[in-house]
Every structure is written in C-alpha cells, then in structure tokens.
Amino acid sequence: MRLLVTGGAGYVGSVCSTVLLEHGHDVVVLDDLSTGNADAVPEGAEFVEGDIATTAAEVLGVEGGTPRFDGVLHFGAQSLVGESVESPEKYWQGNVVATLALLEAMRLTKTPRLVFSSTAATYGEPDQVPITEDSPTRPTNPYGASKLAIDHAISSYAHAHRLAATSLRYFNVAGAYRGAGENRVVETHLIPLVLQVALGQREQISVFGTDWPTKDGTPIRDYIHVKDLADAHLLALTKSEPGTHRIYNLGSGEGFSVREVISACERITGLPIKSVDAPRRPGDPAVLIASSRRAMDELGWSPRHTDLDEIVADAWEYMRGLGGRAHAAQR
C-alpha cells in the first residue's frame, strides 16, 4: 500500500514507518517537527515537512481525482498530559482541529483507510481493571478529551462516508526497534527518564507519589513494546472494513509499579539509579491495565514482547547508541 504517516518523525510513528517499509509498503511522512526530529524518519520513506492542519489536503491530492494513498496512519499529535492542562488550546487546535482537516481531506480525495493513535487517557480513572473498550470514557485532562473527541469524529465520518477506520488506544508505549526509539527534546515518560539517570544525563528520578493504593504505593502501568504496537497497526490496516470504525485497547495485560520499573532498569543497566520520593503528579490514575482481548479476537493480534526486562533492554540499547544525538545529552 501507499501510506501517509503523520507524525512519522516522532517516536511511535518512526518505529511504525520502519515496520511498514519492512513489509514492502510505500511511506510518505508528514510531520511539522514540533516534537519530532527529521533524522528519525527512516531511510526509504519520503519526508514532507508541514502541519497536518494546513498541509494534509495538498499532500492527499485533489477532490475527485484518483486517491494518491491507500491509507493514513495518524500519529501526529501533541501528547503531554501536564501541558494539556496548562495550554489546552494547543490540544484542541493541534489535535482536534488538525484531525478534522485531515478527515475532510480524506473525504474529498476518497482516501479509504485510517488508523488513528488514540490513548488509554480517553478512559480517565477506571472503575475496574483490566480496562475494556466498553469501560466509561471520562478523560481527566484536555489531552485525553481531545483524543476522545477525535474518536467520535472518526466514527461519524466512517459511517457517513464509508471510511475504513480503526482507533488504537495505546497504554504505555516503551522499547525501541531497529534504530528507532524515544529521543524527545522534552521527555516526561518514565522509562527513558530512568535510563537517562543511568546514562548520567540526569541526576535522579522523582517517584510521583508513594501513597497510592497499590502493592508498593507507586502507580501501576501496562507497558507495551513499540514493535508489538507496530504489528497491530499492520493488522488494523488490512482488517478494517469500509463504513466501520473499530476501537481496540493495546497493552501487554500486566501491570508494573514505578518502583518495579526502576528495579528493572537497574537490573538491565547494572547501574544503581538514584530515586527520590515526590508528590503525586496531578491527573495521574493509580492503576491502568489494558484488556486487549478484542484486538486478539478480531485482529488476530498478540503481544510478543511482554517481558518488562526485554522492553527496558531494547530501550537501553537504543539510548546508549544515540551518543551525541541524544537530546538529553545536548542540554
């Protein structure tokens, strides 16, 4: 297939582009480099620098013409929970308005398929875990709310305009694959931050809250290997049907506490990691664990890299290999 990948200069988008190219697809990356790096776009992909809101229509083609693309994988978004609380306009404009422009361009050019990066943040604080797709959606921050609004928009476009659409609700993505991984200018995610401590790029890791109702008092998350996530995108592309919008949770199905993640990082790196107890981070739920049963049953997906040590080892190998290209090392 010929595929447009928005956000392909970012973490998940660059790994998925790598995997799409390996499977023989043609990839065009559209990215405004607001949080991504041009050098993360894999070799073999064409790169167009631009904002989805203003460039998607031009890239996708002309109304009534033959569609230029068989599908769009839409990763491009702002995705920092804390920032979304302080600057919600960045999320309503950057995520919702940009995606509405993309959907319009897809409708006018009759681009047939869409796979969208949704998130566990659409659920908010869950009543029970594991979280299924039928759980209530009560996002606790503008980031999650913007993604939920997009899911609703996609549903109505799919049903009215015969789009074959899939929203994948990722839980905590981690790990790396073939030279593609996490190298953000502003890093807020637990595993890369802990590994930055091991690399001497950061003095210590703050543990946000030690009085949560969990086994060791720290929050529990479901870490999914980014390669497993990429495989789910491939399946979603081929299994989706015109006029339908399917939503799938994607996680490994097992929860690890913040302290367990830090211990895994110490095991893998062989280095002590200094941590300090800190207050809870606003908006954080205590426990997020996915039920991926629907993705397994309907897409035939199953996560293969569920061992936390393997996920951390892949992230560690990638981050060590970055050397001077690491944004954290340049600060």
Ligand X SMILES: O=c1ccn([C@@H]2O[C@H](COP(=O)(O)OP(=O)(O)O[C@H]3O[C@H](CO)[C@H](O)[C@H](O)[C@H]3O)[C@@H](O)[C@H]2O)c(=O)[nH]1
Separation CA 296–CA 308 (nearest Å)? 20
Is residue 284 a contact point for ligand X (CB under 6 A)?
A: yes
123 catalytic per annotation:
no
The DSSP code for 290 is B
187 binds, among ligand X, ligand NAD, none (CB under 5 to 8 A by kind): none
| Nearer Cβ to ligand X (47/212) | 212
How is the beta sheet containing 164-170 ordered, strand by strand? 46-49, 26-31, 2-6, 71-74, 113-119, 164-170, 244-250
Residue 207 interacts with, from ligand NAD, ligand X, none (CB under 5-8 Å by kind): ligand X
* Footprint (CB under 6 A) of ligand X, residues 243-262: 258
Cβ-contact 273, 198 below 8 angstroms:
yes
The answer to whether residues 284 and 241 touch, using CB atoms and an 8 Å cutoff, is: no
Tokens 């606790």, residue located: 140
What lies within 8 Å, CB to CB, of 94 at 6+ separation is: 34, 77, 78
Q: Is 189 in the site for ligand X (CB under 6 A)?
A: yes
Angle 62-98-15 (CA atoms, 0-180°, nearest 5)? Answer: 90
Q: Which is nearer to ligand X, 81 or 149 (CB)?
A: 81
- Nearest residue (beta carbon) to ligand X: 219
Site for ligand X in 161-180 (CB under 6 A): 170-172
Question: 32 and 51 in contact (C-beta within 8 Å)?
Answer: yes
Number of residues that bind ligand X (CB under 6 A): 22
CA–CA distance, 22 with 37 (Å, rounded to integer): 21
Single out the catalytic residue among 11, 91, 123, 143: 143
Contact residues for ligand NAD, defined by CB under 6 A: 6-7, 9-13, 30-36, 51-53, 75-79, 94, 98, 117, 119, 170, 172-173, 184
- Least distance CB 210 / ligand X (angstroms): 9
Say whether residue 208 binds ligand X (CB under 6 A): yes
CB of 36 to ligand NAD, least distance (A): 2
- CB of 272 or CB of 323, closer to ligand X: 272
| 164/237 Cα distance (integer angstroms) | 9
The catalytic residues are 143
Which residues contact ligand X (rule: CB under 6 A)? 79, 81, 119-121, 170-172, 188-190, 193, 205-208, 219, 221, 258, 281, 284, 288
